[in-house]
Amino acid sequence: MKYKRKKPKTEKTGRISRRGFLKGAGITAAGTVLAGSGVLKLQAQTEEKDKTLGPDAVNIKIKVNGHVRQLSIEPRTTLADALRKELQLTGVKVGCNRGACSACTVWIDGIPVLSCMTLAVEVGDKEVTTIEGLAKDDRLNPVQEAFMEHDATQCGFCTSGMIMTATHLLEHNPSPTEKDVKVALSGNFCRCGTHPKVFDAILDAARKM
């Protein structure tokens, strides 16, 4: 019941790693472009203030599926919208837009998160992976293979989120129990009721990996 009496220890438990945030972000909000004489002085005075982005569109860079892309988006643009509308990565699905169905699950630095509840502007230089980024060199990952093999899709609208969740599970737990699978998927909504085949597919993919 006691801690090991060691010296105070610091550890990081936040699962999303911190990196130089917004390094790739655009420098100023639209309408604050500075020109002419006195720019330097003005910049010095407003250096802190210039960190405010928006509310109009700003240029950001975002690393998605291994490629750095430049986008012009308003701060209110969700990551899901930016991926779908701006980058045409429509494998990212929005089911409820409120974080309750997990269809929009993507990875940020390898961790499954909800792209509908993430702002594009806050991704910074972290790496985003979507369903489109799972297959390497046109080779499907074992979870995708297993979903096909086990008929683990019906309408297919929840499939991307399910596969992103499941792939992450297997990368961190190569031999999950059925309960582990259910925990991992406990936020993924499927109205078609494909769950039993999804469980089978994931457990089978684990065996084959």
Interface residues for other proteins in 11-70 (CB under 8 A)? 11-16, 18, 21-22, 25, 29, 48, 51-56, 58
Q: Using CA atoms, how far apart are residues 202 and 200, in angstroms rounded to an integer? A: 6
Interface positions, 99-138, toward other proteins (CB under 8 A): 99-103, 105, 111-114, 117-119, 121-122, 124, 130-132, 134-135
Member of 80, 159, 204, 206 binding other proteins (CB under 8 A): 159
Return the ∠ at Cα 27 (arms to 18 and 92), rounded to 5°: 55
Q: State the DSSP code for 141.
A: P
**What's the longest Cα–Cα distance across the chain?**
68
Q: Using CA atoms, how far apart are residues 159 and 155, in angstroms rounded to an integer? A: 8
Residue 183 binds other proteins, judged by CB under 8 A: yes
Q: In whole angstroms, how close is the CB of 67 to other proteins at the nearest point? A: 16
Residue 208 binds other proteins, judged by CB under 8 A: no
Q: Using CA atoms, how far apart are residues 90 and 130, in angstroms rounded to an integer? A: 9
Picking from 68, 63, 80, the residue whose alpha carbon sits closest to that of residue 120 is 80
Residue 192 binds other proteins, judged by CB under 8 A: yes
Q: In whole angstroms, how close is the CB of 182 to other proteins at the nearest point? A: 4
Residue 209 binds other proteins, judged by CB under 8 A: no
Q: State the DSSP code for 74.
A: -
Q: In whole angstroms, how close is the CB of 25 to other proteins at the nearest point? A: 8
